[in-house]
Amino acid sequence: MKLLVFAGSTRAQSYNRQLAKVTADLARTTGASVTLLELGSLDIPLYNADLEAQGTPPDVRKLKEIMDAHPAWIICSPEYNGSYTALLKNTLDWASSPIKGDATWGDSRRPFAGKVVGLLSASPGGLGGLRSLSHLSPLLLNLQCWLCPQQFALARAGSAFDGQGQLKDAAYQAAVAAVVDQVLWAARRLTG
């Protein structure tokens, strides 16, 4: 099973990028083929329909191709002002925008429809970014993704990782593994 993992942050010391790496490592131990996507590696401008009318940026097409190639995704969402980040929204807006006249990407449902998505978050606060997940869920449902009910919000993330970037607490590791397992289980059943 091919699994895409990415965080809605490009900050060097992002807790969600650390959580995405832990998630990818855990998923690899199950035998999944994992792509850990760093959104900062793509040159994706702020969405603007006038800019898009001049031609879809090459890295947006690359993003669509990466997303489309993976039937299962896990998104690690930071929480800014009680919601998900502008980076994450911009990424999803570009990926969902059809490329006019393109046989593959002319459909706005691609690359989202039917993808199995698990949600994680990490925050230094007591709720662990949980509110970002409650806002991200309806957006992904609107894009026709299958959302796994198992989610995890890592609270007090500033002290949750050890010096090697691994989760210190076995219960946190188990919570992330539960999301990974459910995403892979559902994706296997939906993609046959």
Tell me how far CA of residue 141 lies from CA of 16, 71, 89, 116, in angstroms: 22, 15, 14, 10
> Under DSSP, is residue 127 helix (H, G, I), strand (E, B) or coil?
coil
* Type of residue at 93: D
- Residue 108: the pLDDT is 81
Q: Which of 174, 132, 173 is nearest to 9 (CA)?
A: 132
- Residue 9: the pLDDT is 97
Structure tokens at 101: 């006249």
Asked if residue 176 lies in contact with residue 23, where contact means CB atoms within 8 angstroms, the answer is yes
> Under DSSP, is residue 26 helix (H, G, I), strand (E, B) or coil?
helix
d(CA 52, CA 188): 35
Sequence-separated (6 or more) residues with CB below 8 Å from residue 120 = 16, 19, 20, 23, 74, 75, 76, 77, 151, 152, 153, 154, 176, 179
The Cα angle at residue 73 between residues 5 and 97, in degrees rounded to 5 = 105
Q: What are phi and psi of 95, to 5 degrees?
A: -65, -30
d(CA 67, CA 15): 22
pLDDT, averaged per 10 consecutive residues of the chain (192 residues), comes to 97 96 98 98 96 94 97 97 96 95 90 97 94 96 97 96 95 98 97 80
- Residue 107: the pLDDT is 87
Give the predicted TM-score (pTM) of the model. Answer: 0.96
- Residue 170: the pLDDT is 96
- Residue 192: the pLDDT is 72
* Type of residue at 166: Q
- Residue 4: the pLDDT is 98
- Residue 1: the pLDDT is 95
Rg (CA), the chain: 16
End-to-end CA distance of the chain: 11
